Structure 1
């Protein structure tokens, strides 16, 4: 086995096979549930070759090993005799869902638990759509072909039916049956209701108010029916499914067992869909529009300053799992105005981290360090996975870490100044560059500014490594003490 020695060291470090309840993995981490965490040798594991860091959060003991985690996990299962668990698409921080955490952290944990299962397929669909946009820049006639229509449908389907997908994921989180959750989400984009919006409205609520104005299309039991476009929407499905979970629980508790199976679904679907269409949908759409307007107003005050602040601190938020509170704002803004101006401000972060990795590979004379950490971290950062570089390279080198963050801030400021926009979700890092191409106007100044900012961040980070060196803080401290 390729990773046999590392796996044996990890098993010994976590207190032996008998101390492991189960083990799973995400993009870069082995995730253990241990019977007794005090038996684990954390410092010994951190010093093990092939281990980048050890994190304890939310009842999990996480061993960060980098992008080769799948191969390591496969060997670990065989050596330890552990049962395979489902993999996570992203490095979700389970500490955010800990019952003892504060309300804000619980909210981030809730958002994370709903978005994590769908983010991978969302990015896959966005990548396909963005590649179509890139092809059309160089071959405009391709857009009129059947091939384009089919490929675009494959990529965009996840956004077209996003309320259903989010409803399914929210149902998993709130305990609503999967098929019932999807059926409730489907009501929001039911074709006949969408067609109804194409006709003339019967009235207007809050006419003249840019934020609250809404068209009315008849009524339901005397309540005005406000119909809005819920395609690509994030917010409506989540509160509706939360409400559905309460309705489902209520009727499951009061209905006789003989009719419970049928009528719990009937009442849950009927009540939840009516409340969703008449109340929750319009309110959450107003909130989404308010958030979008707030974001754009904030950026309008000083796009350069906003870009620098967001770009500088984004990777820091990722380190602590706090970025999950920001990601939904991208989709909220996109659903309201068709694009996000907030997302591009952190794009240069991938460039800066990749630049640091390039600098480490070029300047580091330790061949083993390049093979085991620097080169894998470089490859991961190109694909938008920053954790190996964050934990393995930057955290042990604080000056280099902050220089890298500032380089990202400079890139973010350039992107903000040029008015960069994110039009479709897709791959992270440089692979996601086509997602910033305007599908109507093609490559514009915003896209050019984004790319230039990313290149600047990369070059500044490379230069920082050559100026500050490759030694860790601990190594530098030892040399200084010896001198």
Structure 2
């Protein structure tokens, strides 16, 4: 057996065997398991497995932190556990598993966050493409090196890449969200295409306006928008279920697809689309308003606690609100510079300090692995769950390093303009075609995050085996 197969088998054994596994999927670093009985999980034995960097229970979902190797281990896990590939849940007659969850504010919030995560996460590589294309355009264009003008084809080639992906973002989101909501993917994509159809938008923006079944459609532009299409696909899932339930089998091929589009047309153009647009505008206004009122105070506080927000998933609602701001305005100041860049450098500073201070050879090896994973792979979970959370003595250095770098971010008004790599090159996100100083100040903030956290670790952190002075 291969190393990945051995790891997958060892994990399966320690979570109660395949009879205990209901569902398995994974993100960039974690194998995520839904189990029948979590009490069967041998947590300590699981944590000690080679390749396992940590274990986290997220509202009953067991997350095994594996780092970049998770893809290959997941493939082996699926083969031996008899679960469906990706996130499909196998049929199960257990009433505890098939019973519909109670609707509570917590479950509603969780459902919204899950919908965002499932829809946006697969598109992260494209956000990186947008960022890198914009960076290349900024470097060769008038902003930095001035090698070509902003009308030169070499410049516009890269500029158009980013703009095209951003313009057709609703179509891409229709593809990913249709999988989460269980809709017909092609119908979802068609509904997104309607929202972006140039003639439709021209008519809506015209002096006389445009009506759908006699209802006036608000003048809204949906290119680059996130929330409107998610609302549309969500409602589409209920329309499709309704039609599939009542339309005779002999007519389903004809009436379900057409009926779905016919029913959804006024809903998306007159209600759901404008509602999603306004929700996005409110989120943008709230985030920008918070930053404008609090400024450096807000960035200082958020930066001081961002590793903990990341570790416990608390930052997801903030991230999605700020992502809407970034996509709408082209820049975000309140959270994205911190979550996408500074967090990495705080964690790397802490990991480097721990590597120097710890006396355990085993922990030094782990720290080296974690540091490489963070610096090159942009994966902070090994440090978060293997070093920071188990060691409260790391908390104060992290807070100090975060506060100092966050204060500088706020004072210098550093903005995040585009997605780049999540590793040490994440500072590329600070490159701006309009403000060249933003990149310099962003790099200084990142350097402060790393250096101040490292120095604080060296001064304040005491290893568990280190005896106090004078004894």
Normalised by the length of structure 2, the TM-score is 0.84
1:228 is aligned, of 215, 220, 228, to 220
Per-residue CA deviation, residues 127-162 of structure 1 (Å, 9 max, x unaligned), is 333343234322440644434433444444331211
Residue 433 of structure 1 is matched in structure 2 by 427
- Could you tell me which residue of structure 1 aligns to residue 183 of structure 2? 176
Structure 1 residue corresponding to 2:326, chosen from 326, 334, 344 = 334
Alpha-carbon distance in 1 for matches of 2:40, 2:360: 33
Q: List per-residue Cα deviations over 1:215-257 (Å, max 9, x = no partner).
A: xx34344433322221111111011112222222222222222
**Paired residues of 2:357 and 2:463 also in contact (CA < 8 A):** no
Whether contact under 8 Å (1:334, 1:423) holds in the other structure is yes
Equivalent residue, structure 1, for 2:94:
none
Partner of 2:367: 374
Encode CA deviations 1:313-341: one digit per residue, 9 max, x unaligned: 22222212222212221232134333222
Query: For residue 415 of structure 2, what is the aligned residue in structure 1?
Result: 421
- Residue 118 of structure 1 corresponds to which residue in structure 2? 123
Residue aligned with 1:226, SS: coil
Give the C-alpha shift of residue 365 in structure 1.
Answer: 4.8
2:406 to 405, 408, 412: 412
1:107 deviates by 2.8
Q: In 1, distance between residues paired with 2:308 and 2:11? A: 27
Q: Aligned partners of 1:8, 1:350: CA distance in 2, in Å?
A: 32
CA-to-aligned-CA distance 1:29-80 (integer Å, 9 cap, x gap): 23345564433321222244543322234554332233343455567678x6
Of residues 384, 390, 415, the one that matches 1:390 is 384
Contact 1:234 1:328 in 2 (8 A): no
Instruction: Say whether residues 1:107 and 2:101 are aligned partners.
Output: no
Select which of 180, 189, 192 maps to 2:196.
189
Stretches of structure 2 lacking an aligned partner (at least 5 in a row): 89-99
Residues 225-374 of structure 1 mapped to structure 2, 5 A cutoff: 225-342=217-334, 343-346=336-339, 347-371=341-365, 373-374=366-367
Quick one: structure 1 residues 30 and 171, their matched pair in 2 at CA, closer, same or farther if it must change by over 3 Å? Answer: closer
Which residue does the alignment assign to 1:92?
A: none
Q: Distance in 2 between matches of 1:219 and 1:84?
A: 45
C-alpha separation in 1, matches of 2:18 and 2:211: 63
Q: Which residue of 2 aligns with 1:471?
A: 463
CA distance in 2, matches of 1:110, 1:420: 30
Stretch of structure 1 that moved more, 55-64 or 377-386: 55-64
- Per mean C-alpha deviation after superposition, the further-off stretch among 4-13 and 174-183 is 4-13
Deviation at 1:389, TM superposition (A): 0.8
C-alpha distance in 2, partners of 1:254/1:18? 37
Match 2:395 to one of 380, 398, 401:
401
Q: Tell me how far 1:7 sits from its aligned partner.
A: 5.7
Distance in 2, matches of 1:81 and 1:104, equals 31
TM-score (norm 1): 0.82
Count of aligned positions: 449
Distance 1:241 1:23, change over 3 A: closer
Tell me if the contact between 1:30 and 1:65 (Cα under 8 Å) persists in the aligned partners. yes
Structure 1: 5+ residue stretches without partners: 89-97, 203-216
Distance in 2 between residues matched to 1:275 and 1:179, nearest whole Å:
18
Separation in 1, partners of 2:451, 2:360: 22
Distance across 2 between alignment mates of 1:127 and 1:438: 12
| Per-residue Cα deviation, 1:389-427 (whole angstroms, up to 9, x for no partner) | 100110111121342144223212211221222222333
Report how far residue 381 of structure 1 moved: 2.1
Q: Does structure 2 conserve the Cα–Cα contact (< 8 Å) formed by 1:252 and 1:260?
A: yes
Change (3 A) 1:311 1:381: same
- Residue 201 of structure 1: aligned partner: 207
Contact 1:345–1:416 (8 Å) recurs in 2: no
**Is the 8 Å Cα contact of residues 414 and 450 (structure 1) preserved in structure 2?**
no
2:148 corresponding residue in structure 1:
141
